[in-house]
Structures are given as structure tokens and as C-alpha cells.
Amino acid sequence: MALSVASAPVLPEVKIIAPRVFTDDRGFFLESFSEDIYREAGIPGPFVQDNHSRSRRGVLRGLHFQSPHPQGKLVYVVRGVVWDVAVDIRPGSPTFGRWVGLELSDASPRQIFIPAGFAHGFCVLSESVDFVYKCTAYYSPADEHTLLWSDPDLAIDWKATDPIVSDKDRRGVRLRDI
């Protein structure tokens, strides 16, 4: 198999994927996605949309989710470093309100699969970042919601003292109001 998959601490549905990387004096090569291999490794699809964002140091995007048409996301960093966070917001889930954070970088090309029913966000730790994610459902503006990134009930350590946050993300809802 061309990758290894492990469950994230605290949230076993969130998967950490380490693709096999081939390096030599010219650089590296990795297969960032292969439907058959990922399905065999327990990463459900299908993936119907790819997104790419670029952000500068200190930008915090999230915590985003869609309801009632949720998206699963396979995320990774092409260039730079982020602190990536997934929060279980599935009502009735035994891990509701728990979150997991992981540093993703181009120096250690890991991916995270965040299942549908989880909120997702990231904070840029490098000068800039190119961040890519594959989605299991199409973006639906009518279904888009934001969980408050600074919700004290979550107490997420974003690894940044004064992040740059959009007005939309600043107006997110608290976990207790979901």
C-alpha cells in the first residue's frame, strides 16, 4: 500500500494519512490521492470537489461545516505550515464537542480525513500557506455554517496569539447553540 492510516487521538473517525514519499537528489514524488487505495484504507468517498486556498501568516479560517448536507474533507498542505483542527459536532455522538489538532506542513506531507458531521478550521503558522482539500459533497452556500473559533467551551489552542479572522468567522455560533 502506498500510504499508512492512523486514527486521530480522541476522535477515531478522523484519520491521519501518511502517503509514501519517494525522495532523491532531484526532490520528491508522492501520490496525493488514488480512489482505490484510499477506499481500501477506509477513507470513504466519493470526492466530488477540490478546493485550494492561499493564506498569510496568522490567518485563521474556520470552524466551518455544512448542514443539513455535510461535507467530508481530505485536507493537506502543499506549501507552508498550518495548525489544523477538527471538532465533532454530531448531535448524540459520544465524542460531541471534542476536538483534535495537528500540524500539517509541506516538510512532512501528512493528510487528514475529516468526516461529514465535523467542523474544520486551520491557522497559518508559516509566512504563507497553500492548502488543498477534497470534499465528499459540493459546496452549498445555503448549508454553510460557522462554529465560533474562540468558543470557550472548546478552548482550542490555535498556536497563534492574535489571529486574523473574517467577519463571518468572528460571528460563528457557540457549540452549545448547535
Check if 64 is active-site. Answer: yes
SS3 26: coil
CB 88 within 8 A of CB 12: no
Chain position carrying cell 486574523: 164
- pLDDT 10s digits, 17-31: 999 899 999 998 988
Predicted confidence band of residue 123 (pLDDT cuts 50, 70, 90):
very high
Predicted confidence band of residue 72 (pLDDT cuts 50, 70, 90):
very high
C-alpha count within 13 angstroms, C-beta hemisphere, residue 24: 2
**Amino acid code (one letter) for 87:** V
pLDDT computed for residue 3 by the predictor: 77
* CB within 8 Å of 167: residues ≥ 6 apart: none
Check if 52 is active-site. Answer: no
CB 2 within 8 A of CB 36: no
Q: Which of 133, 138, 139, 145 is catalytic?
A: 133
| All domains in the chain, ordered by first residue | 3-21+34-177 (2.60.120.10)
Residue ranges with strand state E in 57-127 = 60-66, 73-79, 81-88, 99-105, 111-114, 118-124
Return the bridge partners of 52, or none: 132
Sign of CA dihedral 176, 88, 66, 112: positive
pLDDT computed for residue 1 by the predictor: 52
Predicted confidence band of residue 45 (pLDDT cuts 50, 70, 90):
confident
Q: Which of 64, 69, 76, 120 is catalytic?
A: 64
Using alpha carbons, list the distances in angstroms from residue 61 to 18, 31, 64, 168.
24, 26, 8, 10
CB 167 within 8 A of CB 116: no
Which of 2-6, 9-13, 74-78 has the least mean pLDDT? Answer: 2-6
pLDDT computed for residue 44 by the predictor: 84
Q: Residue 154 corresponds to which cell in the numbers above?
A: 472548546
**Comparing C-alpha atoms, which of 80, 101, 134 is closest to residue 10?**
101
CB 131 within 8 A of CB 106: no
User: Whole-number mean pLDDT of the chain?
Assistant: 95
